[in-house]
Structures are given as C-alpha cells and as structure tokens.
Chain A
Amino acid sequence: MDRSLMQLEQLVIHIPDRAPGSPLSFTVEPGQCWGILGPNGAGKTTLLHTLAGLHAPRSGNVHLEGRSMAALSRREIARRLALVFQHHHDGFPATVLETALIGRHPFMRPWQLETAEDLGRARAALKRVDLADLEHREVSTLSGGERQRLAFATALAQDPRLYLLDEPVSHLDLHHQVALLNIVGEKVAAGHAAVLSLHDVNLAARHCDHILLLYPDGNACWGPTADMLLLPVLERLYGQSLVQGEVDGVPVFLPTG
C-alpha cells in the first residue's frame, strides 16, 4: 500500500518559451513540510498550480494518494488538497465568514445548505488566524495581510490532507508569519502534509523539513533541508552574495552588499 500523499513522476511544468529543465521526481509523505525556494519567475506558482491539477504539465505525472491526478474529478481533488493562492480577487461583496465558509464547498451536495458543523469549522478556522472578531466585515475592507490570513482560514475550513500554499506569509507581519507557519507545523505533525513557496530562506530553514530549489533556467534540486540550505547553493540560486550564521542550531542567511 502506497502511503505517500503526493507523488511526482518525471514532472516537467509547462512554462511557455522556457527549456524544459530537469524533471521533478519525489514523493510528499504525511508528516512532511516541503519548502519551495527560487527567485522571481522560477515557476513556483506554476508548480503549485500544476500540483493542484489546475495547470497541465508539459510532461510527467502527479499522483494524489496513489491515483493519477488526471483521473480524479475536481471535487475529489478538492477533498484531498487545498491550494491557497498568492493573489485574491474579490469582485463581489462578501463577508469574512462567507469567505471562510466556501472552504466547505467540496464536501457539500449541490442542494445542501451549510450545516451548523460547517459554520463551526469556518468559525474555528477564523479563530486560528485571529480573524474571529472580523467575521462580519466586508472582505474588500481587509488589509493585505488580513486577506491572506483569511485565504489560509478558508483552507483550514477545507481541512485537507495536503496543503499547497503559494507565498502564504508574503504580506504578513512578523508575528503572524510565525503563527501561520506554526499552524502548518501542527497540521504536519498531525499527519497532514504541506508544500509551500517562500521567499524567506530563514523561515524555510526553521519550518520546512524538505526543500525544493527552482532555478530560473528550469533546473531543480531537492532533498532534506540540512542538505539543501548551503551557502554556495543559495548564492547561486538567488545570484546574491550571502553570509551564514547560526541561531539555536538553525542556519541563518543574510544578504551582503
């Protein structure tokens, strides 16, 4: 029995006008937190969308709980994984609570109304991200960071086995960055798994157990965090000279010059 949550087989993501680069082959097991690092335009978002089945790969396969992504319906996928987008478009008025509640959508029959349990899950998710007091607020009045936490709360209400998070902390203040990644850590410790793209190498060093490095030319390498976060590797990845230190036994990287 294959207990891996997600398996990538020779996966090459489709980015127009770019050489295919190196194919990705690894598995995401329950209890793992994968960080994706790479400069702007390296394909982090495209990869996450491909893993969620929203974007067809150029070649290769993704398996979700042992079944080919192509064979699963959208609804079956949404019951197993949640994708938190980097950008949010709110074309129509909606409250914070309504927005968290749509995370329950994949689990409801077409004519079914939201139950008390669905509401409870949505409220609990809002509480986790410190938005409980804002549940009646219009989404359009939220700050960038609050909107991002709300998107994560929608994923929490969805309660998937696999979280795909596209720069989940990019707009958050320092406290909420750590708070959100700690929630991810709790979920992972409880047997869920997460794949998240980050810009902050030091957060990745502290919160991720596996790292995938994406280079702008399409090449990639991956492995346990300790093997991947090495000074020369990161300097080549970002094209930026860095200095390395150590705090609490975790490497810390700072840019120089």
Chain B
Amino acid sequence: MNRLPISLALLAAAGLLAMGVSLALGSVPLSAAELWAVFTGDGAPLHRTLVLELRLPRTLAAFATGALLAVAGALMQVLLRNPLADPYVLGISGGAAVGALLSMLAGLATALVSGAAFAGALLSTLLVFGLAHGTGSWSPVRLLLTGVVVAAGWGALISFILAVSPGAELPGMLYWLMGDLSHARNPVMGWGVLVLVLLIAWPLGRHLNVLARGSLQAAALGVSVRPLEWTVYLLAALLTATAVTLAGTVGFVGLIVPHMLRLVLGNDQRIILPAAALAGGILLTLADTLARTVIAPQQLPVGVITAMLGVPVFLYLLHRSR
C-alpha cells in the first residue's frame, strides 16, 4: 500500500505527458511552447481552434476509453480469477456494439443508445459467465471458448446490421467493428462513468483482493460473495458499454494494462484499479496518436494498433497458463 501514492503520481505525470504529446502531434505539429501558449490563453487563433476544438475532445475521449476498458478488464479478471479475461475477448464489447447499433437503426436518442449498449453488454456478460460456469468453477478453456464464440456471433450480427444499413452511413458505422476514435466528440460521459465506478470500486478493493483468492476462500473470510460478484458484473458491464459508445469495440486494452501493472505493482486492487485507469488512458492516448499520424493523412482505426499489441500478449499469457 505504501507504493500507492508514488505509483499513482508517476502514472498521472505520464498521463499528462501522453495527452500533451497527443495534442501536439498531427497534421500541424506544435512545439511544447506553442501548446503551453494555447492553454495560458495567448496562442495563435489557428492553434487554439486546432487544439481546443479538434484535438482536445479526441484526446480526452481516447484517455477515457482506455481507462474504462483497463478498469473493466481488471475487474473481470478478479471476478473470473483469470488474467485472460477482457471485455473484447469475452464478447462483452461486441454485445454493447450490437445494442448501440440496433438502437441507432431504430432512430433512438443518444441517451437511449448508451442504455442499449449497456443492455447489450450486460446480456453478453450474463451469457458468457452463465454458459462458461456450468456446474463447476470457471475453467480458462471453457471461459475463453465461450467468450470467443459469443464474440464471433456479435461480430456476425454487426456485419449483418452494417450490410442492411444505408450505404451513406457505412463509413461512420464501420468503427463499431474495429474501434475508432475519429467519431468520438463528447468525452464527458466517459469521464463521469469512470470517476463514478472508481469511487464505488476503490473501497471494495480489499474485498476484491480476497475474492481473487477464490469465492469459497473469500466467503470463509467474511466476504458476501454473491452481492460483491453482482456489483462487479454490473460495474464491468457499465464500463464496457460506456467505452463502446465512445469508440466502438477497441480490443485488448483490458488485457494488456492490468497484466503489465501486476508485474510491477503486485495484485492489490486498491493500487491496480486506479493505476489501470491511468495506464489504460495513457496506452490508448498514445495508440490513437500513432493511429492518426503513422500513415497521415490517412488514419488507422485505433483498434488495429491495440490488436497488434494485444494479440502477442494474449498468446503469451495463454501459453504460460498451461
């Protein structure tokens, strides 16, 4: 626990740096001094528009999305006692995307789109966890197979919805499949949900530490396992749904970030949860900056970058877990 303040301070500083890099890089690169001038109120008008109206909302959305996904991954891993759990791999993101797409097709208002995404994420969570549970405990193989198959099913549904959608909307909708931040405009809800969930989850940190030892052991140590597990289910689904409404189905952030942090910081959830929020934000902010600039003026979906990082990490973890 004594590592908490220093770790978080370092990560927060790195987070600010990552956001600075993201704001400075692009079609018109800015120097650190020019960027500073924008925030102190006396930058060039072009720079002000560029940074405050174009780049800042996207950077904040990228940071929030990464943070949401990393915390969702960390929570699911405790719930399933399995470091391979991730909202994308287990099909939770796909469920949220289908919910959001269906409600958009039906012409519902923005708030209802978020609600539908939450319902989709929740349905997918229950489906995967319920089916993988069977009679015994969650075995990694059973869980992953269930998740992968459910994710494939959602992927097919998304393709179907895109196929029957009006052609003009297709380019803007494709990002539900791959994850893309170029359409993210309003990060307020993402940040709000993130802060809310951390405020609920952080005091549960020690309970989660005990839960990570197994549900029977946790019950023997005085944890009310069922209510705690349900709380974590709901929080993870809410986080995933919010991330998906911001940026589509970005994969593997929830897998990479908690894994890296555990190597350095151990598995105390009171450290891991806030650290995952910061590190996830940093990872996706940098990944999105890379996606915007690597083959500029064309842009890559950020999900391509995270998948290229995440697939090797996933395979390594799976290989090691035998």
- Same assembly: yes
Contact in complex: A85, B216 (CB < 8 Å): yes
**Which of the 9-residue segments A3-11, A88-96, A174-182, A201-209 touches chain B?**
A88-96
Contact in complex: A105, B219 (CB < 8 Å): no
Contact in complex: A93, B267 (CB < 8 Å): yes
Contact in complex: B219, A74 (CB < 8 Å): yes
Taken together as a complex, chains A and B put the C-alpha atoms of A103 and B221 apart, in Å, by 7
Within 8 A of B (CB), among A82-109: 82-83, 85, 88-95, 98-99, 102-103, 105-106, 108
Residue in contact with A113 in the complex, picked from B1, B82, B267, CB distance below 8 Å? B1
Interfacial residues, chain B to chain A (CB-CB below 8 A):
1, 77, 81-83, 203-204, 206-207, 209-210, 212-214, 216-217, 219-225, 262, 266-268
A113 proximity list for chain B (CB < 8 A): 1
B223 proximity list for chain A (CB < 8 A): 74-75, 105
Is there a chain B Cβ closer than 8 Å to A110's Cβ?
Answer: yes
Taken together as a complex, chains A and B put the C-alpha atoms of A106 and B221 apart, in Å, by 6
In whole Å, how far is B294's beta carbon from the nearest beta carbon of chain A?
Answer: 35
Closest to B268 in A: A98
**Known pairs A89-B214, A110-B203, A110-B206; A94 contacts B221 (CB<8 A):** no
Residue in contact with B204 in the complex, picked from A95, A110, A114, CB distance below 8 Å? A110
B220 proximity list for chain A (CB < 8 A): 52, 54, 78, 82-83, 85
B204 proximity list for chain A (CB < 8 A): 110
In whole Å, how far is B266's beta carbon from the nearest beta carbon of chain A?
Answer: 7
Contact in complex: B82, A91 (CB < 8 Å): yes
Taken together as a complex, chains A and B put the C-alpha atoms of A114 and B268 apart, in Å, by 12
8 contacts between A and B (CB under 8 A): A52-B220, A54-B219, A54-B220, A82-B220, A92-B262, A94-B213, A105-B223, A106-B222
Contact in complex: B214, A102 (CB < 8 Å): no
Write out, one digit per residue, whether chain A residues 100-129 have a CB within 8 A of any chain B CB (1) or not (0): 001101101011011000000000000000
B81 proximity list for chain A (CB < 8 A): 89, 91-92
**Known pairs A85-B216, A113-B1; A105 contacts B262 (CB<8 A):** no
**Known pairs A85-B216, A93-B266; A105 contacts B221 (CB<8 A):** yes
Contact in complex: A102, B213 (CB < 8 Å): yes
Taken together as a complex, chains A and B put the C-alpha atoms of A92 and B266 apart, in Å, by 9
Interfacial residues, chain A to chain B (CB-CB below 8 A):
49, 52, 54, 73-79, 82-83, 85, 88-95, 98-99, 102-103, 105-106, 108, 110-111, 113-114, 158
Taken together as a complex, chains A and B put the C-alpha atoms of A177 and B266 apart, in Å, by 32
In whole Å, how far is A235's beta carbon from the nearest beta carbon of chain B?
Answer: 34
B216 proximity list for chain A (CB < 8 A): 49, 54, 85
Taken together as a complex, chains A and B put the C-alpha atoms of A90 and B214 apart, in Å, by 8
In whole Å, how far is A178's beta carbon from the nearest beta carbon of chain B?
Answer: 26
A94 proximity list for chain B (CB < 8 A): 213, 266-267
Contact in complex: A78, B221 (CB < 8 Å): yes
Contact in complex: B212, A91 (CB < 8 Å): yes
- A-B contact number at CB 8 A: 77
Closest to A99 in B: B213
Residue in contact with B224 in the complex, picked from A73, A92, A93, CB distance below 8 Å? A73
Taken together as a complex, chains A and B put the C-alpha atoms of A111 and B199 apart, in Å, by 11
In whole Å, how far is B227's beta carbon from the nearest beta carbon of chain A?
Answer: 10
Closest to A95 in B: B266
Taken together as a complex, chains A and B put the C-alpha atoms of A179 and B224 apart, in Å, by 34
Taken together as a complex, chains A and B put the C-alpha atoms of A73 and B81 apart, in Å, by 24
In whole Å, how far is A17's beta carbon from the nearest beta carbon of chain B?
Answer: 14
Closest to A91 in B: B81
Contact in complex: B221, A92 (CB < 8 Å): no
In whole Å, how far is B217's beta carbon from the nearest beta carbon of chain A?
Answer: 7
Taken together as a complex, chains A and B put the C-alpha atoms of A128 and B4 apart, in Å, by 30
20 other A-B residue contacts (CB within 8 Å) besides A92-B77, A93-B267, A94-B266: A49-B216, A54-B216, A73-B222, A74-B219, A74-B223, A74-B225, A77-B222, A78-B222, A79-B222, A85-B220, A90-B213, A92-B267, A93-B262, A98-B209, A102-B209, A102-B210, A103-B221, A105-B221, A110-B204, A113-B1
Taken together as a complex, chains A and B put the C-alpha atoms of A103 and B210 apart, in Å, by 9
Closest to B225 in A: A74
A76 proximity list for chain B (CB < 8 A): 222
In whole Å, how far is B223's beta carbon from the nearest beta carbon of chain A?
Answer: 6
Closest to B224 in A: A74
A85 proximity list for chain B (CB < 8 A): 216-217, 220
Taken together as a complex, chains A and B put the C-alpha atoms of A71 and B222 apart, in Å, by 14
**Known pairs A89-B213, A90-B213, A91-B81; A105 contacts B266 (CB<8 A):** no
B217 proximity list for chain A (CB < 8 A): 85, 88-89
Closest to A76 in B: B222
In whole Å, how far is A117's beta carbon from the nearest beta carbon of chain B?
Answer: 15
Taken together as a complex, chains A and B put the C-alpha atoms of A88 and B212 apart, in Å, by 12
A102 proximity list for chain B (CB < 8 A): 209-210, 213, 221
Contact in complex: A92, B212 (CB < 8 Å): yes
In whole Å, how far is B136's beta carbon from the nearest beta carbon of chain A?
Answer: 12
Closest to A93 in B: B267
**Known pairs A54-B219, A78-B222, A114-B1; A105 contacts B206 (CB<8 A):** yes
In whole Å, how far is A120's beta carbon from the nearest beta carbon of chain B?
Answer: 15
A54 proximity list for chain B (CB < 8 A): 216, 219-220
A103 proximity list for chain B (CB < 8 A): 221
B222 proximity list for chain A (CB < 8 A): 73-79, 105-106
